[in-house]
């Protein structure tokens, strides 16, 4: 099996922010000397060795602490004004950051857990599920229909998300929401000769399939055997059947995301 950092080399043609992957256990070298100028973008050209990862992580933790303090101020204000018991609170993030994991920096356009497994905290006044932790698969597109449902408003049929209202109200299992989640990515950083990477992820709670559609490459990870996503099974002969099955499932999931057009109101 190729080591994790060797695996990153096949993504040189993928339009992403981190053009380099370096081994954090080795002394810093000028990785820029070896890189292909045709792949270089106008920004984010410096390899991870040019940064102090520990300083970056410390700054990130400081930002988390600051956000925690500011959210606390909002909650204090809601309490002081008597609005806390009639306010639905949602705390979420759109993405994470590689922060040196797998030798990479920035946020795109990869689908490692550090980027796609984001925080989601929802507080609903009077909910019996208050304070509970859920392991269910959830997507950010689920937030809009959830807020509409909890507010007693109709959810438009064209919405892609699935409301979490029944889970939040304690009417269904906290660990069962949907059988899979998908994520999409289009363009992180354009460079000379690029067409703009179109990438998608399909994850069923165990297997994660990532496809980079414009360059014909992909990744397959088994979270039960490899939770840290170090061993890509995309080219594994023993996992070929699994890969093709997941490709079919991913295609079906993406088709279901596509708009169906206006509703037919009359027969032909």
Write down all domains in the chain, each with its CATH number in brackets. 4-257 (3.40.720.10)
Q: Which helix (H) or strand (E) holds 87?
A: none
Provide the token pair at 60.
């990130």
- Sign of the alpha-carbon torsion through 37, 41, 47, 51: positive
Angle formed at CA 168 by CA 157 and CA 200, multiple of 5 degrees: 55
CB 97 within 8 A of CB 106: yes
Residue 76, helix vs strand vs coil: helix
Percent of the chain with pLDDT over 70: 77
Q: Encode the chain (268 residues) as per-residue pLDDT tens digits.
A: 556 767 777 776 666 655 556 554 444 444 333 344 443 444 455 566 666 788 888 999 999 999 999 999 999 999 999 999 999 999 999 898 888 888 787 776 789 999 999 999 999 999 988 889 999 999 999 999 999 999 999 999 888 899 999 999 989 998 889 999 999 887 654 555 555 567 899 999 999 999 988 777 899 999 999 999 999 999 999 999 999 999 999 999 988 877 666 777 777 6
Query: How close are the terminal C-alpha atoms of the chain, in Å?
Result: 57
Residue 220 Cα to chain centre, angstroms: 15
CB 230 within 8 A of CB 220: no
């Amino acid at each position: 099996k190729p080591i994790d950092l060797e695996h990153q080399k096949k993504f040189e043609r993928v339009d992403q922010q981190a053009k380099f992957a370096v081994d954090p256990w080795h002394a810093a070298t000028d990785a820029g000397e070896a890189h292909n100028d045709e792949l270089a973008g106008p920004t984010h050209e410096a390899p991870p060795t040019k940064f102090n990862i520990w300083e970056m992580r410390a700054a990130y933790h400081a930002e988390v602490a600051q956000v925690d303090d500011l959210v606390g101020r909002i909650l204090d204000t809601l309490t002081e004004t008597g609005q806390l018991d009639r306010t639905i609170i949602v705390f979420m993030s759109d993405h994470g950051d590689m922060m040196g994991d797998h030798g990479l920096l920035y946020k795109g356009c990869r689908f490692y857990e550090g980027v796609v497994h984001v925080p989601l905290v929802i507080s609903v006044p009077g909910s019996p599920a208050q304070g509970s932790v859920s392991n269910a698969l959830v997507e950010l597109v689920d937030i809009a229909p959830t807020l509409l449902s909890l507010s007693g408003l109709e959810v438009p049929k064209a919405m892609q998300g699935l409301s979490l209202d029944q889970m939040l109200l304690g009417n269904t299992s906290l660990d069962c929401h949907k059988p899979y989640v998908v994520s999409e990515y289009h363009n992180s950083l354009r460079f000379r000769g690029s067409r703009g990477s179109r990438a998608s992820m399909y994850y069923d709670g165990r297997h994660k399939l990532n496809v980079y559609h414009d360059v014909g490459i992909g990744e397959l990870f088994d979270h039960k055997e490899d939770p840290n996503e170090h061993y890509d099974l995309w080219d594994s002969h023993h996992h070929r059947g699994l890969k093709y099955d997941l490709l079919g499932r991913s295609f079906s999931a993406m088709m279901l995301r596509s708009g169906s057009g206006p509703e037919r109101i009359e027969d032909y």
